[in-house]
């Protein structure tokens, strides 16, 4: 709501000042790399930011072409390098995919850390300043805003009733913190590109996988898996960054306009988060949760929804403390962990200790 008010304030300022205010925003056309072309986030939020929202807010002065990394044959970790070198002016990226560059980037999306959407948003807001500093110092990239993908959920080919049943199973992960989670459950983490997961599940290379529900549905995971754990295991946080030289060249007015548009974009992504989580359940299982709508992406699949229980709550708390947070603190180091505790940890009432 606050950012929406800011948006209207910017529009009012531009109108009041007339064409001279718009003229102060530099004519800019950005070359932008997005995330996964098959995902709703790319089509409904990322591409429209530069193709619709930004041009509308700047009277056409600023715009961009957005190409998905999957259409370019890229994986998530290359995006930062493309921004560093100026091959792309701006880019969207999943933070878990770039965390191998420095553990500080893991801190915004640790497995099991936020208890829900509201807590995840508070954690992100608290930790964002850490990312702004780290992204500039480590990568010389301007970090603009964090935004959420649909929360990451767990599916398996074989039945399970509690998380303890996953011991020994091979589970597809895409980040170090998810690997910590799987090992804490007694499972075996396996890193496989998203596009190869359905085949790996079908052939028995892995037993379970983690991704967002809608992404699973559009990629037809439901053809090879039958069981969905209803509680997300990770928040799925992504970021928008810009080549530092390109950012500096925008000047004060251009930077202000870019940040206004980016903030409104992130607000819309957060607003859509709950609905997308509900759609993941509805599309994969046919179960329509309270206040939700039936699957709007096609015919719902018939997967079994594994409900949460007190046993799982205890398991998650133990794995979070003894594996996820402990290992993160060890990788991150004393100073890094202390900053996490002062920001993200303080918001959700937990600490990362080696």
Q: Taking all residues of the chain, what is their mean pLDDT, rounded to a whole number? A: 91
Pair 166, 145: CB distance under 8 Å: no
| Structure-token pair, residue 167 | 């011991």
**Residue 24: predicted pLDDT:** 85
> What's residue 19's pLDDT?
38
Distances, alpha carbon 15 to alpha carbons 8, 10, 52, in Å: 10, 9, 19
Q: How many residues does the chain have?
A: 354
pLDDT grade for 22, boundaries at 50, 70 and 90: low
- How much is the average pLDDT of 280-303? 94
Per-residue pLDDT at 18:
37
Work out the end-to-end distance of the chain between its first and last CA atoms, rounded to an integer number of angstroms. Answer: 38
Half-sphere exposure of 337 (CA within 13 A, CB side): 16
Q: 182: which 2 tokens?
A: 């799987």
Q: Which two tokens stand for residue 188?
A: 């075996």
The model carries a pTM of 0.87
Q: Determine the average pLDDT of the residues in 147-163.
A: 94
Overall average pLDDT of the 131-137 stretch? 96
pLDDT for residue 135 is more than 60? yes
Per the listing, tokens 């910017």 go with 10
- State the pLDDT at residue 346: 96
Region 28-46 average pLDDT = 92
Q: How many CB atoms lie within 10 A of CB 146?
A: 23
CB 345 within 8 A of CB 117: no
Task: Transcribe 180-226 into DSSP letters.
Answer: HHHHHTT-EEEE--GGGHHHHHHTTS-SEEEEEHHHHHHTTGGGT--
Whether residue 154 has pLDDT greater than 90:
yes
Which of left, alpha, beta for 61 (phi over 0: left; psi -120 to 50: alpha)?
Answer: alpha
Q: Kindly indicate the confidence band of residue 218, based on its pLDDT and cuts at 50, 70 and 90.
A: confident
Q: CA geometry: angle at 268 spanning 215 and 264, to 5°?
A: 135
**Cα angle value 290/293/294 (rounded, 5°):** 115
Report pLDDT for 74. 87
pLDDT greater than 60 at residue 153: yes
CA geometry: angle 311, 166, 192, nearest 5 deg = 135
Instruction: Kindly state the percentage of the chain with pLDDT values over 90.
Output: 79
Least confident range of 1-10, 145-154, 224-233, 258-267: 1-10
Of 22 and 143, more confident: 143
Using DSSP's 3-state secondary structure scheme, residue 293 falls into coil
Q: Tell whether the model's pLDDT for residue 16 goes beyond 50.
A: no
Mean pLDDT within 105-112: 95
- C-alpha distances in angstroms, 112 versus 75, 96, 162, 274? 24, 14, 16, 17
Compute the distance between CA of residue 253 and CA of residue 22 in angstroms, rounded to an integer: 9
CA pair distance 354, 352, nearest whole angstrom: 7
Looking at residues 114-133, what average pLDDT do you find?
Answer: 94
Confidence of residue 97 (pLDDT cuts 50, 70, 90): confident
Question: pLDDT confidence of 278, banded at 50, 70, 90?
Answer: very high
Q: Residue 12: pLDDT above 50?
A: no
pLDDT tens for 242-262 read 999 999 999 999 999 999 999
Is the pLDDT higher at 64 or at 4?
64
- Is the distance from CB of 329 to CB of 354 less than 8 angstroms? yes
Beta bridge partners of 306: 229
Q: In this structure, what are the phi and psi dihedrals at residue 229, rounded to the nearest 5 degrees?
A: -80, 125
Instruction: Please report, rounded to a whole number, the percentage of residues in the chain having pLDDT higher than 70.
Output: 94
- pLDDT tens-digit map of 293-336: 999 999 999 999 999 999 999 999 999 999 999 999 999 999 99
Cα–Cα distance between 344 and 126 in angstroms, integer?
6
State the pLDDT confidence band at 96, using cuts at 50, 70 and 90.
confident
């Amino acid at each position: 709501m606050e950012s929406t008010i800011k948006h209207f304030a910017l529009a009012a300022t531009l109108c009041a000042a007339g064409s001279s205010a718009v003229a102060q925003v530099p004519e800019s056309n950005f070359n932008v790399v997005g995330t996964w072309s098959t995902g709703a986030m790319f089509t409904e939020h990322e591409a429209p930011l530069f193709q619709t929202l930004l041009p509308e807010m700047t009277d056409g002065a600023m715009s961009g072409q957005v190409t998905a990394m999957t259409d370019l044959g890229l994986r998530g970790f290359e995006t930062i390098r493309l921004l560093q070198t100026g091959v792309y002016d701006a880019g969207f990226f999943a933070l878990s995919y770039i965390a191998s560059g420095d553990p500080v980037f893991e801190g915004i999306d640790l497995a099991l850390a936020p208890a829900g959407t509201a807590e995840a948003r508070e954690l992100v807001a608290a930790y964002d300043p850490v990312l702004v500093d780290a992204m500039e110092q480590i990568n010389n990239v301007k970090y603009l805003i964090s935004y959420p993908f649909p929360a990451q959920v767990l599916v398996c080919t074989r039945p399970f009733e509690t998380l303890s049943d996953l011991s020994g199973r091979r589970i597809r992960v895409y980040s170090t913190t998810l690997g910590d989670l799987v090992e804490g459950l007694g499972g075996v983490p396996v890193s496989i590109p998203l596009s190869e997961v359905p085949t790996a599940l079908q052939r028995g290379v892995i037993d379970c996988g983690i991704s967002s529900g809608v992404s699973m549905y559009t990629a037809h995971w439901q053809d090879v898996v039958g069981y969905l754990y209803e509680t997300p295991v990770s928040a799925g946080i992504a970021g928008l960054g810009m080549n530092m030289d390109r950012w500096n060249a925008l000047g004060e007015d251009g930077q202000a306009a870019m940040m206004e548009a980016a903030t409104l974009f992130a607000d819309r992504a957060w607003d859509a988060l709950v609905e997308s989580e509900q759609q993941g359940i509805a599309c994969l299982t046919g179960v329509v949760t309270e206040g939700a709508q039936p699957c709007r992406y096609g015919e719902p699949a018939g997967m079994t929804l594994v409900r949460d229980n007190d046993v799982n709550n205890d398991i998650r708390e133990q794995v979070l403390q003894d594996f996820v947070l402990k290992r993160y603190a060890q990788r991150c180091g004393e100073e890094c962990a202390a900053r996490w505790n002062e920001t993200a940890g303080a918001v959700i009432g937990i600490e990362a200790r080696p």
